[in-house]
């Protein structure tokens, strides 16, 4: 039987094949022999495979805004403006 292996943190499909195990800690699902989904493009949601787009890493600006918003030294009015900016970046 063929197996599909996924990252347990993200559900991302990392490999598949006729093998017992992949990397230590990977989740495993038995799949049909004709299974041919491309690793990195699919994610296991606990029931089925769904299309997956890897999140883009935060830019330095986004990181700085999040840090300022979570800082207790940032005034509330400034935090509100930063939250609005952050929302509009998405």
Split at pLDDT 50, 70, 90, the class of 90 is low
The pLDDT tens digits for 37-73 are 999 999 999 999 999 988 888 899 989 999 999 999 9
**What global pTM score does this model have?**
0.62
Domain map (residue ranges) of the chain: 2-51, 60-89
% of the chain surpassing 90 pLDDT: 77
Q: How far apart are CA 55 and CA 40, in angstroms?
A: 12
- The set of long-range contacts for 7-10, using a CB threshold of 8 Å and a minimum separation of 24, is 10/43, 10/52
Q: How far apart are CA 77 and CA 12, in angstroms?
A: 39
Structure tokens at 68: 């300022």
Q: Are 60 and 74 in contact (CB under 8 A)?
A: no
3-state secondary structure of 47: coil
Structure tokens at 76: 């509330």
């Amino acid at each position: 039987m063929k197996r599909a292996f996924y990252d347990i943190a993200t559900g991302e499909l990392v490999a598949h094949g006729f093998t017992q195990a992949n990397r230590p800690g990977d989740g495993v699902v038995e799949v049909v022999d004709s299974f041919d989904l491309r690793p990195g493009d699919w994610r296991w949601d606990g029931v089925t495979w769904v299309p997956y787009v890897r999140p883009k890493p935060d830019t330095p600006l986004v990181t700085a805004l999040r840090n300022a918003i979570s800082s207790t030294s940032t005034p509330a009015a400034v935090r509100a403006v930063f939250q609005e900016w952050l929302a509009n970046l998405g």
